[in-house]
């Protein structure tokens, strides 16, 4: 049964290589120095639904941006919130310069962003979420990058706000792995994943945007957009600046966390990018092999040694990658959760992967 160990070799080699690439220094974008006005204009489009508890914090962050306020506009799009989100937005009138408040019909995030783009004046669209927090230089470094890099899409870093709870720290550590993969590939201009909480892209117009993000599929506004830009040979770059990071809230419960991850995975049947498909398959197959061996070992005791070897082989590259990313983000204290996460993670990947694929295939049947 030792042949089972061969399944882990591609995973081990691949993620060790990612760790090596993550250690390599990335080219830094321009800092927070001012650029000459008149070069271009940014439109910050923020879709919202039931964000009454968070939107005022984001509004304060946007009001304190160091970028000349004449170089950007803020477009909030309320997607039929059932709480006081819209009332709070209306109270911001006069407190935020270049503010637009739009109302969508509750048809989802993609259509809300498309509505914002329809009203946008900017050459570049910047997106984030209503529960996010941004630093004072966030738009300045995005503006500088867009002006200097001549890129069509800029992918920025995202971090989870620390609340101190065990579940929150657990999710922070898991999210660091996603961010490590995001950064390594985006640095080379060939991203495989990105996050709409910190994204900038050349304005394609509302109709083209709707086509690029495939509005008939519920989730995936960021990944499908990225795939479209890559497929069409557009230049994509990584925003390598701590000042350009966005912080977001993690799901408040384990149930919400699973729902979020299943929603993310549900778009996997629609991926067209070979590198993303290959990476997703490699991760899923590796974790499935670990889970299957663990279960079979209860019936074939000789498999326990194989399971232990597989677990170690998988843990080595995972630990290297997470340790590098945790140190980079100043979150080394999270690594004491590595072992419990590593024990749970294969089961989590298999469960959310299968549930997401089934959900995605259901939607694909609806789309035909």
Whole-prediction pTM: 0.92
Q: How far is residue 106's CA from residue 90's CA, in Å, rounded to a whole number? A: 18
pLDDT score recorded for residue 269 = 86
pLDDT score recorded for residue 220 = 86
pLDDT score recorded for residue 327 = 95
pLDDT score recorded for residue 243 = 95
C-alpha distances in Å from residue 326, one per residue of 23, 175, 176, 253, 363: 12, 10, 7, 23, 36
pLDDT score recorded for residue 125 = 98
Give me the helix-helix angle, 166-187 and 303-328, nearest 10°.
80
Q: b or e along 198-222 (b: 16 or more beta carbons within 10 Å of the residue's beta carbon)?
A: bbbbbbbebeebbebbbbebbbbbb
pLDDT score recorded for residue 366 = 40
Identify whether the C-beta of residue 126 lies closer than 8 Å to the C-beta of residue 43: yes
Helix (H, G, I), strand (E, B) or coil at 48: strand
> pLDDT by residue for the chain (368 residues), tens digit each?
566 678 889 999 999 999 999 988 777 766 666 655 457 899 999 999 999 999 999 999 999 999 999 999 999 999 999 999 999 999 998 888 899 999 998 888 999 999 999 999 999 999 999 999 999 999 999 999 999 888 999 999 999 999 999 999 999 999 999 999 999 999 999 999 999 999 999 999 999 999 999 988 878 899 999 999 999 999 999 999 999 999 999 998 999 999 999 988 988 888 989 999 999 999 999 999 999 999 999 999 989 999 999 999 999 999 999 999 999 999 999 999 999 999 999 999 999 999 998 888 775 444 33
Q: How far is residue 37's CA from residue 43's CA, in Å, rounded to a whole number? A: 15
Identify whether the C-beta of residue 156 lies closer than 8 Å to the C-beta of residue 245: yes
pLDDT score recorded for residue 362 = 73
Q: How far is residue 180's CA from residue 116's CA, in Å, rounded to a whole number? A: 30
Looking at the domain covering 25-251, what would its CATH class be? Answer: alpha beta
């Amino acid at each position: 049964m030792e042949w089972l160990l061969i399944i882990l070799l591609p995973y081990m080699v691949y993620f060790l290589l990612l760790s090596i690439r993550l250690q390599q220094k990335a080219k830094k974008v321009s800092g927070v120095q001012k650029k000459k006005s008149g070069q271009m204009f940014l439109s910050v489009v923020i879709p919202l639904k039931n964000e009454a508890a968070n939107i005022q914090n984001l509004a304060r962050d946007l009001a304190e941006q160091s970028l000349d306020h004449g170089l950007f506009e803020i477009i909030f799009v309320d997607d039929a919130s059932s709480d006081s989100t819209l009332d709070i937005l209306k109270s911001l009138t006069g407190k935020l310069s270049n503010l637009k408040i739009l109302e969508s019909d509750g048809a989802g995030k993609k259509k809300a962003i498309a509505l914002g783009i329809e009203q946008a004046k900017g050459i570049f669209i910047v997106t984030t979420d209503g529960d996010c927090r941004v630093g004072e230089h966030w738009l300045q470094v995005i503006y500088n990058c867009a002006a200097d890099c001549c890129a069509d899409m800029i992918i920025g870093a995202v971090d989870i706000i620390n609340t101190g709870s065990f579940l929150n720290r657990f999710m922070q550590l898991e999210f660091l792995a996603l961010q490590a993969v995001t950064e390594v590939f985006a640095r080379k201009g060939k991203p495989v994943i990105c996050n709409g909480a910190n994204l900038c892209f050349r304005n394609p117009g509302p109709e083209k945007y709707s086509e690029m993000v495939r509005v008939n599929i519920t989730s995936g506004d960021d990944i499908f957009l990225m795939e479209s830009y890559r497929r069409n040979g557009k230049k994509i770059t990584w925003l390598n600046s701590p000042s350009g990071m966005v912080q977001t809230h993690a799901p408040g419960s384990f149930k919400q966390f699973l729902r979020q991850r299943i929603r993310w995975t549900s778009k996997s049947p629609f991926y067209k990018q070979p590198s993303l498909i290959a990476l997703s398959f490699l991760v899923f197959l590796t974790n499935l092999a670990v889970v299957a061996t663990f279960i079979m070992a209860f019936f074939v005791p000789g498999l326990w040694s194989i399971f232990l070897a597989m677990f170690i082989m998988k843990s080595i590259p995972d630990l290297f990658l997470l340790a590098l990313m945790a140190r980079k983000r100043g979150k080394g204290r999270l690594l004491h959760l590595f072992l419990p996460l590593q024990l749970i993670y294969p089961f989590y990947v298999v469960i959310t992967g299968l549930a997401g694929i089934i959900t995605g295939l259901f939607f694909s049947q609806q789309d035909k």
